[in-house]
Amino acid sequence: MTVASPNFAGLRVAAFESRRADDMTRLLEKAGAIARVSPSMREVPLEGNRAAIDFANLVISGQIEIVVLMTGVGVRNLLAAIDRHVDRQRFLDALSDVTTLARGPKPVAVLRELGLKPTLVAPEPNTWREVLSTLDKSAPVANRDVAVQEFGVPSVGLVAGLEARGARVTTVRVYQWELPEDLGPLEENLREIAAGRIDVAMFTSSPQVHNLLTVAGRMGIEPEVRAAFERIVIASIGPSTTETLRELNFHVDLEPEHSKMGHLVQAAAAQSAALVQEKRRSIFPARPASYSGEASAAASAATLSSPAGDDELRNSLFLRACRREPVERTPIWLMRQAGRYMGEYRSVRANVSFLELCKRPELCAEVMITAVNRLGVDAAIIFADILPILEPLGFELEFAKDEGPVIHNPVRQAADVDRVRELESIDALAFVPETVRQTRAGLPARIPVIGFAGAPFTLASYAIEGGGSRNFLNAKSLMYRDEGAWNALLGKFARAITLYLKAQIAAGAQAVQLFDSWVGCLGPQDYRRYVLPHTQAIIDALPADVPVIHFGAGNPALLPALAEAGGSVLGIDWRVRLDDAWRAVGYDRAVQGNLDPLVLFAEPDEIRRRARGVLDQVGGRPGHIFNLGHGIDKRTPVEHVIALVQAVQEMSQTS
Catalytic residue numbers?
Answer: 336, 340, 349, 385, 462
Q: Which of 386, 357, 358 is nearest to 497 (CA)?
A: 386
Tell me phi and psi for residue 13, to 5 degrees.
Answer: -115, 120
Three-state secondary structure call for residue 530: helix
DSSP string, 616-652: HHHTT-S-EEEEESSPPPTTS-HHHHHHHHHHHHHHT
What whole-number distance in Å separates Cα of residue 100 and Cα of residue 119? 5
Size of the chain in residues? 655
What whole-number distance in Å separates Cα of residue 68 and Cα of residue 128? 10
What whole-number distance in Å separates Cα of residue 628 and Cα of residue 335? 7
The kind and range of the H/E element at 82 are helix 72-82
For 62, other C-beta atoms within 10 Å of its C-beta total 11
CA dist list (Å): 633 to 49, 244, 265, 408, 455: 55, 32, 43, 27, 22
C-alpha radius of gyration, the chain, whole number: 27
Q: Which of 212, 248, 270 is nearest to 17 (CA)?
A: 212
Tell me phi and psi for residue 224, to 5 degrees.
Answer: -65, -40
Task: Kindly compute the dihedral angle of the four CA atoms of residues 628, 631, 637, 640, in this order, to the nearest 10 degrees.
Answer: 10
Q: Amino acid identity, residue 369?
A: I
Cα-Cα-Cα-Cα dihedral sign, residues 223, 282, 445, 387 = negative
What whole-number distance in Å separates Cα of residue 210 and Cα of residue 217? 11
